[in-house]
Amino acid sequence: MIIDPKTIPVPIAYQVLTSVVIPRPIGFISSISNAGLVNLAPFSFFNAVCGEPPMVMFAPVNRNPSKDTLINVRETGEFVVNIVSREIAEKMNLTAGDYPYGANEFEIAGLTAAPCEVVRPPRVLESPVNMECKVHQIIEVSSQSWGGHLILGEVVRFHVRDSIIDKDMFVDPDKLHAVARLGGPSYSTTKDRFDMIRPVIDRANWKPRTAGICEDGG
């Protein structure tokens, strides 16, 4: 099937996009307004985008006015990314509702707001990993109702639960037990995995020679 997104309803194009770009990690974003109102909301348009300095991105969609996150990060220039483990997945889902502006999703979901070291927004204590972030750039991708903004943030502090990280600073994916978004109401975890070693290329003949260290090729 060939699909021209301009010839189908926008929600259907969005449905196709989000059901094939899977699994998508979840950025569970905590933020705060200048007036001190905290907000907690999940975003599946989320990922890491830079290593030096470490940066992440997430993208709020315009169609959901309940997500006060964009307002808050514009005001304060700060946010926290909380990684969603399977143990708090249901509570994360509770924060995705269309609550009125100013609603405290920490209280709604029964999650604990813990202080950060550098930024003003609180972090989710129950999350195994928190990343304190300073806004690097906010880009309007589209002003349409299903459009959105790209928010880039520099990670200025990592909070990693001691029990999931080893002496070499590797996080155990089984202990992290992160949750990812699929299409529609479906989610997945990182329990089913396999390893592949990135090839080392002999540039003289452009052929793989020996196995190299497994690392992200970007």
The confidence score (pLDDT) of residue 20 equals 96
Q: Is residue 216 part of a domain?
A: no
Q: Is residue 218 part of a domain?
A: no
Give me the CATH number covering residue 97.
2.30.110.10
Q: For residue range 162-202, what is the model confidence (pLDDT) as tens digits?
A: 999 999 999 999 999 999 999 999 999 988 889 998 888 87
* Contact between residue 124 and residue 73 where contact means Cβ atoms under 8 Å apart: no
**Strands, E assignment, the chain:** 24-25, 27-32, 38-43, 46-51, 54-58, 78-83, 113-114, 123-124, 129-140, 149-160, 179-181, 187-189, 199-202, 207-211
Q: Is residue 65 part of a domain?
A: yes
Q: Is residue 198 part of a domain?
A: yes
Q: For residue range 31-84, what is the model confidence (pLDDT) as tens digits?
A: 999 999 999 999 999 999 999 999 999 999 987 654 689 999 999 999 999 999
What is the Cα–Cα distance from 76 to 4, expressed in whole angstroms? 39
Range of the domain at 76: 5-211
The confidence score (pLDDT) of residue 209 equals 66
Q: Is 169 helix (H, G, I), strand (E, B) or coil?
A: coil
The number of distinct structural domains making up the chain is 1
